[in-house]
């Protein structure tokens, strides 16, 4: 079965009597306008939401720990706007990932050969769109988090940077479409519920609306539903599914490296494949660490 890589057979040439692939054209360059539009959209959305939130009539006063010492009763529409931008980006990634991985007739299951070569070197347009979303969200979030003490932590900033590099060079080399859709898309489905839960953490329903408001019970139910769905989807997609997919990814990498297929299909990308192997192991440990924190949080609430 042939592989729909970006460099087709007519790119091949002979070197010392051996057929090798010439350098593939950049997969990043055609996507640069879309990436720049994404940064502009996120920035415009943030400032628009920040400006419009006070018009809702809701109270965005937060816990004093999120306020300056000289203004313990501050309102933080900036935090709410930040979370809404994150929610929009994560919804795009999560829904696109689930659609491409489990539903689409042109997605992961049918768009590329179900072989190590196909999963590592195949080309899938939906994977490109996932990687664009990763580059936009992780890059924007990294820069924006510098201005938010709540988000500017070593773990999260490192995570943003590593994920940004993964998305950027996955586009450039057109590598690992199968795994880009899962790790960058499907796994973010759980983060949709996390973004909403975090929004309520900063702005609890009881603070957003008066105690006698008919909206309060509904907001409380939405918060509880999102918390439960986050735990459930995190376990499904970021523990069970992640471990299974990571194991398959490492096996595919071992196969293509052992059979010296990297230079045949994507010359010059060997360093990035090793980077992905390393990051997959590090992020796997991070998923387990995060899940342990979730379990500890649940135990403390019981």
Q: Residue 149: which residues within 8 A CB-CB, separation 6 or more? A: none
Evaluate whether 159 touches 42 at the Cβ level (below 8 Å).
no
Token pair of 191 as six digits: 């983060």
Q: Can you give the pLDDT at residue 20?
A: 46
Token pair of 39 as six digits: 């940064």
pTM, two decimal places? 0.86
Q: Can you give the pLDDT at residue 163?
A: 94
Closest CA to 145 of 75, 73, 83: 83
Q: What is the pLDDT of residues 133-192, one digit of tens each?
A: 999 999 999 999 999 888 889 988 999 999 999 999 999 999 999 999 999 999 999 999
Which residues are registered as beta bridge partners of 19? Answer: 14
What is the rounded CA–CA span in Å between residue 52 and residue 285?
Answer: 40
Token pair of 232 as six digits: 């459930």
Handedness of CA 89, 128, 94, 162 (dihedral sign): negative
Token pair of 50 as six digits: 């920040």
Which residues are registered as beta bridge partners of 227? Answer: none
Handedness of CA 263, 264, 266, 272 (dihedral sign): negative
């Amino acid at each position: 079965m042939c592989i729909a890589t970006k460099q087709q057979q007519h790119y091949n040439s002979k070197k010392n009597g051996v057929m090798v692939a010439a350098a593939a054209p950049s997969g990043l360059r055609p996507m640069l306008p879309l990436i720049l539009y994404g940064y502009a959209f996120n920035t415009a959305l943030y400032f628009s939401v920040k400006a419009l939130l006070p018009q809702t009539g809701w109270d965005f006063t937060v816990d004093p720990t999120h306020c300056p010492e000289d203004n313990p009763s501050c309102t933080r529409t900036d935090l709410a706007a930040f979370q809404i931008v994150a929610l929009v980006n994560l919804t795009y990634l999560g829904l696109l990932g689930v659609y491409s991985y489990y539903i689409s007739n042109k997605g992961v299951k049918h768009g590329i050969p179900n072989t190590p070569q196909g999963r590592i070197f195949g080309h899938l347009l939906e994977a490109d769109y996932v990687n664009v979303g990763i580059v936009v969200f992780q890059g924007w979030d990294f820069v924006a988090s510098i201005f938010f003490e709540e988000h500017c932590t070593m773990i999260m900033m490192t995570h943003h940077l590593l994920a940004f590099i993964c998305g950027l060079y996955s586009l450039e080399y057109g590598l690992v479409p199968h795994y880009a859709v899962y790790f960058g898309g499907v796994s973010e489905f759980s983060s949709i519920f996390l973004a909403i839960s975090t929004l309520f953490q900063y702005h609890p329903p009881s603070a957003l609306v008066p105690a006698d408001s008919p909206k309060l019970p509904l907001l409380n139910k939405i918060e509880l539903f999102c918390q439960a769905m986050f735990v459930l989807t995190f376990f499904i997609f970021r523990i069970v599914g992640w471990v299974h997919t990571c194991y398959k990814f490492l096996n595919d990498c071992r196969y293509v490296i052992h059979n010296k297929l990297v230079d045949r299909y994507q010359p010059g990308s060997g360093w990035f494949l090793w980077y992905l192997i390393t990051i997959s192991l590090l992020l796997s440990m991070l998923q387990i660490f995060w899940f342990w924190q979730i379990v500890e949080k649940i135990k403390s609430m019981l």
